[in-house]
């Protein structure tokens, strides 16, 4: 039986019965119900859970991130796209992306780190830039600990393996060893590429009537709901149960995908390109539609799969690697398909862009999800991190425990209060939470 029956034929959950794997608080679930105007079905809950996860929505860090400089005479592309871009002059852009893959690397060091590299490579060439170099910043526990040594070997092996197979060198990095990172390493990867300004592509160019293609690896069950079930939760004794949520990478397929994407850009055959990373097809479709102020109609039956009997839930939440969503220019569909074939890539037309800003997911003739793209991509609540600092101040025992790495602040089920106001004491708040061992930020006001 499908995990997400057609709308109108499914018995939805009763109020306050939130599917556990959605990862939403009761407060967030109430917001979802208000936005949707009804009780979502299982697939729709899962889509919100993935898109409103910490990994995708940055709901606890957006307020701090907005305090960082992001505008300037040389900034060609700021926050909000697959990657940033700086104008180097002469029509040349430096395109770059930094991303962490901490929890996946803690659970499965080799694949966690390798797929972290693969993801940032796709973010860069999705912008029409050729990836040129990889960098990293790694934080581990004491290297005298055998378990930490295994993690170090897996992470460094995954990073070097993926980059070498694609043909992109790892040119620089940083490494630190601190006891607080013994069970939860920080694995930060960066990719730098270059593009001509006229070749730059954004995810916001989709237009009504254009064909939607999914190209690259077939969709499997690896990494399902990784954004909500793995990347956004605290690690603990159940870590082994989350191992199936770690994606598996194929750098040789990534190389083909890279060259095909750049050829599509050079031929000016595409309106928009989007990497499928965290939250998979759910994220790619909703983000492109929201940024372009359009809708999409997608049929999961048309999505190539590597496993039999996959449900719409599994197809929409799979985080199988080496996949891209491509929006073809009207009349250029044949050119797009020929480029896919030339690079021996499996590309399938899975839907089309619609004028009505609604994301509709079909399973053949059955409508299994119907949501506003902007609700998924833009309307996640934002939380004030100063509440974390206040939690430490209110409870001396909790502060001591957190500094020893034995416990963190406890949030009520309904979540912390929502706010979008800019605090006048933002620097003080950052300094107070920097002592949290899961962050351990080296902070100075001058920076």
Which 3 state secondary structure label does DSSP give 176?
strand
CB 269: neighbour CB atoms within 10 A? 20
Please identify which of the residues 55, 60, 174, 346 carries the catalytic annotation. 55
In terms of C-beta density within 10 A (0-12 exposed, 13-18 middle, 19 or more buried), how is residue 9 classed?
A: exposed
DSSP, residue by residue, 328-343: EPTT-HHHHHHHHHHT
The reply to whether 103 belongs to the active site is: no
Task: Compute the CA torsion angle 305, 308, 312, 314 (nearest 10 deg).
Answer: -80
Catalytic site residue 101?
A: yes
Asked whether the beta carbons of 106 and 185 are under 8 A apart, the reply is yes
The answer to whether the CB of 282 falls within 8 A of the CB of 51 is yes
Cβ proximity of 263 and 335 under 8 Å: no
Question: Do strands 130-140 and 170-177 pair parallel, antiparallel, or not at all (unpaired)?
Answer: parallel
Q: Which residues of 325-341 are buried (b: 16+ CB within 10 A; e: fewer)?
A: bbbbbeebeebbbebbe
What CA–CA distance (Å, rounded) separates 233 from 369? 26
Burial class (CB in 10 A: 0-12, 13-18, 19+), 132: middle
Residues 312, 315, 316, 321, Cα dihedral to 10°:
180
8 Å CB contact between 94 and 88: yes
380 close to 57: Cβ distance less than 8 angstroms: yes
Whether the Cβ atoms of residue 345 and residue 216 lie closer than 8 Å to each other: yes
Q: In Å, how far are 50, 221, 236, 255 from 315, measured between CA atoms?
A: 13, 8, 28, 24
The active-site residue out of 101, 103, 174, 346 is: 101
In whole angstroms, give the CA distance from residue 383 to residue 386: 9
The catalytic residue positions are 55, 101
């Amino acid at each position: 039986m499908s995990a997400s029956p057609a709308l109108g034929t499914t018995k939805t959950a009763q109020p306050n019965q939130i599917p556990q794997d959605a990862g939403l608080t009761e407060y967030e679930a109430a917001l979802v119900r208000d936005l949707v105007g009804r009780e979502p079905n299982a697939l729709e809950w899962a889509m919100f859970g993935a898109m409103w996860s910490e990994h995708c929505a940055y709901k606890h860090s957006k307020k701090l991130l907005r305090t960082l400089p992001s505008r300037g005479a040389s900034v060609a592309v700021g926050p909000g796209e697959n990657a940033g871009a700086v104008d180097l002059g002469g029509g040349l852009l430096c395109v770059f992306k930094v991303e962490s893959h901490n929890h996946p690397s803690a659970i499965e060091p080799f694949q966690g780190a390798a797929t972290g590299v693969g993801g940032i490579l796709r973010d860069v060439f999705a912008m029409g830039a050729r990836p040129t170099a990889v960098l990293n910043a790694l934080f581990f526990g004491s290297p005298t600990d055998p378990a930490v040594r295994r993690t170090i070997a897996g992470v460094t092996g995954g990073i070097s393996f993926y980059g070498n197979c694609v043909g992109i060198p790892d040119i620089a990095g940083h490494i630190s060893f601190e006891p607080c990172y013994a069970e939860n390493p920080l694995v930060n990867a960066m990719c730098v590429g270059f593009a001509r300004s006229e070749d730059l592509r954004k995810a916001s160019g989709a237009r009504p009537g254009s064909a939607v293609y999914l190209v690259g690896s077939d969709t499997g069950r690896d990494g399902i709901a990784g954004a909500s079930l793995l990347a956004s939760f605290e690690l603990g004794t159940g870590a082994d149960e989350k191992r199936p949520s770690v994606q598996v990478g194929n750098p040789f397929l990534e190389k083909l995908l890279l060259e095909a994407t750049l050829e599509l850009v050079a031929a000016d055959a595409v309106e928009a390109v989007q990497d499928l990373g965290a939250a998979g097809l759910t994220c790619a479709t909703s983000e492109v539609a929201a940024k372009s102020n359009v809708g999409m109609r997608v049929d999961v039956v048309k999505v190539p799969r590597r496993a039999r009997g996959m449900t719409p839930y599994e197809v929409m939440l799979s985080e199988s690697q080496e996949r891209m969503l491509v929006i073809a220019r009207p009349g250029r569909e044949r050119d797009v398909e020929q480029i896919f074939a030339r690079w021996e890539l499996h590309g399938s037309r899975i839907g089309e862009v619609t004028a009505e800003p609604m994301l509709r997911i079909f399973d053949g003739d059955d409508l299994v999800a119907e949501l506003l793209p902007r609700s998924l991509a833009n309307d996640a609540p934002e939380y004030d991190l100063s509440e974390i600092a206040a939690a430490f101040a209110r409870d001396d025992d909790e502060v001591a425990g957190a500094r020893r790495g034995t416990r963190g602040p406890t949030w009520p089920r309904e979540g912390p209060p929502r706010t979008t106001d800019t605090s006048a004491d933002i620097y003080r708040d950052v300094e107070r939470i920097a002592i949290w061992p899961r962050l351990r930020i080296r902070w100075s006001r001058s920076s």
